[in-house]
Structure 1
Amino acid sequence: ITGAGDGVGKAYSFELAKHGFNVVLISRTLEKLQAIATEIECTTGNSVKIIQADFTKDDIYEYIKEKLKGLEIGILVNNVGMLPNLFPSYFLNAPDEIQSLIHCNITSVVKMTQLILKHMESRRKGLILNISSGVGVFPWPLYTMYSASKAFVCVFSKALQMEYKAKGIIIQVLTPYALSTAMTKHLNTNVITKTAEEFVKESLNYVTIGDETCGCLAHEILAGFLSLIPAWAFYSSAFQRLLLTSYSDYLKRNVKAR
């Protein structure tokens, strides 16, 4: 599980361990990994291996490969990701973290899949869960870089599933909308905004239902509603102004209230 130190990655670590799996946690902060590993081992009795790696860098994969040597990986969760701007922002006004975002949101998915998939292919079984986003399903102005990076994950995952489905490997991309995690400054939860734990527990029920899923029913309903909005309206200047004002105000209220 990549990005296992917080949020969705941490939730997958616990949930898979509860299902009887030994887990490998990969993330940047060693102290968080150690604390999570200890808790998982104490509460589930399953073994945990930790690998400290910063996915905003591109020179980490030989090290990860060496650390994984000899392990039979049955499930890969490509979860690690970064959101450069929580609040909607024009491209030129957003933080200049382009290279880090590409390494973290795109390169990590490709390289980790490359490392693990070859072994799954030889065993003719395996599960790869790639965490994308609802904003990767179609272009989202004012979240341009994040939307584009998550769109890559969607296309990569679905194309790869076409290649390897006949070899007994399930590759599913998840496209959730609002989640309350450290990356989203712990937004207040509601019927749409789910905790990482709620999302992960529900998403595992849908592993075999298709190549792409929002991961929870509430987000599937939201996705259906958004699909009804005409493209001319969604991509209009008026909608962008709405994002910049009303949605920004909503985020401020919910982040402050936490």
Structure 2
Amino acid sequence: MSEIKQTFNSSLGKKLIMALTGLFLCTFIIVHLGGNLFLFKDDQGYGFNVYANFLTHFPPIEVVAYLLYGAILVHGIYALILTLNNKKARPVAYASQDKAPASWSSKNMGLLGSILFLFIVIHMSDFWYKYKYTDTVGFKEYRTNVLSNVTTVSDFVPTDPNFEHSATTVNEDEIVRVKDLHTKVSTSFHNIWYVLIYVIAMGSLSFHLLHGFQSAFQTLGWTHRKYTPVVKFIGTWFFAVIIPIGFALMPIVYYFFK
């Protein structure tokens, strides 16, 4: 047990924790982007509101969510510890290190991570916290006629203060009542300052992942001349380009076109 503790207290051990939590967060942003694509659907927020309701009321997802919060905190804390340690002593290299000159993103991971952490705090306080713990988010009623497949949308005011959501069928109408996070998101995305913060954060995410994704595999020792180029390709084009652009397009599209 002491050897394990000593390993994880070492610089390499801290980097291992950073790598594992970082890869876990990479899987999260894939899922998160997939769900947020509902924002681009022209359905008056139905798909996104149902998705948000599912995330906050399905027990296994809620467990994963708390693991996610823990991973963010651990990743951030260990990043801070490593940054401070690196200022005091010569940095310890990765288990397998490229001899090429350090990139701008690798030299500024602390700055990029700080921007992202600040964005996460703003983002969660504006959406997640208000959605779950305040009454500032209203409700929508989606009434779909099963014969014509026409959906009408209206505001809904529950009489029960503990009301969360419902799905019922009345005659030929399927009625879904859920919290209206979509309107909250739309309002935020029509604020130019929030849009700028969001886009800057996604730029930081791009550079953070450009270095971080590949470095995680290097730290874990998962390097091979055959597979390393594949990891680099995925890290560059998927995580550092496609995913940040996908996120950044959401506030841009809402601000200019919706």
Give TM-score scaled by structure 1 length: 0.26
Point out the structure with max Rg over C-alpha. Answer: 2
Higher RCO, 1 vs 2 (CA within 8 Å, ≥6 residues apart): 2
